[in-house]
Amino acid sequence: MRPRFELLEPALIDRVVDEALALLASPGIKVEEPEAIRLLVGAGASAEGNRVSIPDALVHRALDTVPHAFDLYDRAGNPAVRYGSGAVHFDPGSSGVSVLDPDTLEARASQAADLARITRVADALPAYDAVSTAIVCHDVPTEIGDLYRLFVCLANSDKPIVTGAFTPRGSGAMLDLLALEAGGRAALADRPRAVFDVCPSPPLTWSEFACRNIMDLGRAGVPAEMVSMPLAGVAAPVTLIGSIVQHAAECLAGIVLHQLAAPGAPIVWGGAPAIVDMRTGATPMGAIETAMIDGGYAAVGHSLGLPTHAYMGATDSKVIDAQAGLEAGMTALVGALAGVDLISGPGMLDFLLAQSAEKLVIDAEVIGMVQRLLRGIGTPTASLATASFEAAGSEGRFLELPETRRLFRSEQFLPSRVIDRSSRRAWLDAGGLDAFGRARDRVEELLATHPLPAVDGSVAAAMVACVREAGAPFGLGEALPGVPEGFGEVRAG
């Protein structure tokens, strides 16, 4: 039996949805894109300027057409992230602006080579079901920053990709890049490799770009993942439940717009909310209350039959220390117990500003443990214990039993050496390293041994050409940082 965890009673979930619907009607949603307003009004909403009042009926109609499950596919075409299947998936948190340098412990501006490193590590670790465009590449022209990040992920991983566009132009170019490998836009919609994050603005606002983006993604049939971020007490009500209502209202508005643009297109009920620390105005991602808002809105999403996403497994610590471990561990645990379909956030430090490959490998252990917990306590033997006692004899020779050898691997999650379970003597002999030190070794080991993805040569060449063409007007140079040597080179013969 999977362990159960209930943050909101069913009756409270109903109240959340009722109040979210009430907010959609009044004061309504600020919609800053003319076509989006026209679509909404054409379907029965009423608008005063850019303030759009959305009636219940429109929401219910959208909820009737929105899919309850869909998959993201890996390079080989196998479903790897199965939204709505009940499984909990993890990917590295997105869009850091720096990386924690493991040697200097400084946060330095992130570059394409850092994204390649993080992507290679996430590709190597089975704990990650997807990679993500985890950081901004400061060494690449800003105008093609979104496209280039996706390109680096495609060149360094076979896994599905959690990404997002910075501009409408970027979104179009990114879909074109994905379509090259999928075999066209229609094939891409059929078996999407990527999901695109789209962010409403708190409170209750869909910006011009977010509207454009969500409509374009819907029409392309490529999954959109709403990242609603109520900030409790500042850009949302101070109560956790009030922030959950706001999240629901923002996401329901997004679903209405998305389903009007493209009925049946896939979309995820996601977010990155946070409480606000009233001493500094900071928005802690490692706070337990932040995780409670996440778990709460996930319950609301599930009640509506929607796939869910959240930013959990991150920390606000600046280095990989005890705070990093406890915040990442606790929030990932809450997210998993809440049944969030895709949890982004591993690897992240400092309010989602910094990424770290070393934290990513530590978080992979968190994920291994959390996934084990979700499998629950099983009953793989006919009797729970009596037959084992009979077989083990009076001396209790359990270690010699075939069932012990057969079952221990499924009964136990076997952590990597990042988790220290050696004797003090053995630990000292191995260098007496702390978790961060062991993680540094593990990253180097993974990078040295994990094979690069095998990308079809002509597809790779087409991707390179696509990125070069998009980047040329903005000064993208000859070198393609973060892309494996020889990628996309057309070889003679």
User: Using CA atoms, how far apart are residues 204 and 251, in angstroms rounded to an integer?
Assistant: 9
Which one among 4, 279, 424, 491 touches another protein, defined by CB under 8 A?
279
Closest approach of another protein to the CB of residue 277, in Å? 9
Among candidate residues 266, 256, 265, 208, the one with its CA nearest the CA of residue 40: 256
Give Cβ neighbours of residue 404 (< 8 Å, ≥ 6 apart). Answer: 398
Nearer to another protein, 152 or 179 (CB): 152
Put residue 345 in one of left, alpha, beta given phi > 0 → left and psi -120 to 50 → alpha.
Answer: left
Which one among 16, 252, 276, 360 touches another protein, defined by CB under 8 A?
276
The contacts found for 443-447 with CB under 8 angstroms, 24 or more apart, are 443/102, 443/117, 443/121, 443/357, 443/358, 443/360, 443/361, 446/120, 446/121, 446/124, 446/125, 446/361, 447/117, 447/120, 447/121, 447/124
**What residues between 104 and 133 interact with another protein by CB under 8 A?**
109
Nearer to another protein, 54 or 137 (CB): 137
Binding residue count for another protein, defined by CB under 8 A: 22
Give Cβ neighbours of residue 281 (< 8 Å, ≥ 6 apart). Answer: 234
User: Using CA atoms, how far apart are residues 339 and 77, in angstroms rounded to an integer?
Assistant: 25
Cβ-contact 195, 228 below 8 angstroms: no
Which one among 168, 184, 264, 281 touches another protein, defined by CB under 8 A?
281
Is residue 205 at the binding interface for another protein, with CB under 8 A as the rule?
yes
Which one among 17, 66, 195, 235 touches another protein, defined by CB under 8 A?
235
Helix, strand, coil percent values for the chain (each to nearest 5): 45, 15, 40
Nearer to another protein, 144 or 262 (CB): 144
Which one among 95, 259, 317, 331 touches another protein, defined by CB under 8 A?
95
Which one among 65, 85, 201, 404 touches another protein, defined by CB under 8 A?
201
Closest approach of another protein to the CB of residue 315, in Å? 16
Is residue 142 at the binding interface for another protein, with CB under 8 A as the rule?
yes
Q: What is the DSSP letter of 61?
A: H
Nearer to another protein, 167 or 416 (CB): 167
Is residue 465 at the binding interface for another protein, with CB under 8 A as the rule?
no
Which one among 87, 187, 353, 401 touches another protein, defined by CB under 8 A?
353
Which one among 85, 207, 303, 388 touches another protein, defined by CB under 8 A?
207
Closest approach of another protein to the CB of residue 186, in Å? 30
Nearer to another protein, 205 or 388 (CB): 205
The contacts found for 445-448 with CB under 8 angstroms, 24 or more apart, are 446/120, 446/121, 446/124, 446/125, 446/361, 447/117, 447/120, 447/121, 447/124
Is residue 407 at the binding interface for another protein, with CB under 8 A as the rule?
no
The residue whose two tokens read 């620390």 is 277
Closest approach of another protein to the CB of residue 95, in Å? 7
Residue ranges in contact with another protein by CB under 8 A: 95, 97, 109, 136, 142, 145, 166-167, 201, 205, 207, 231, 233-235, 276, 278-281, 351, 353
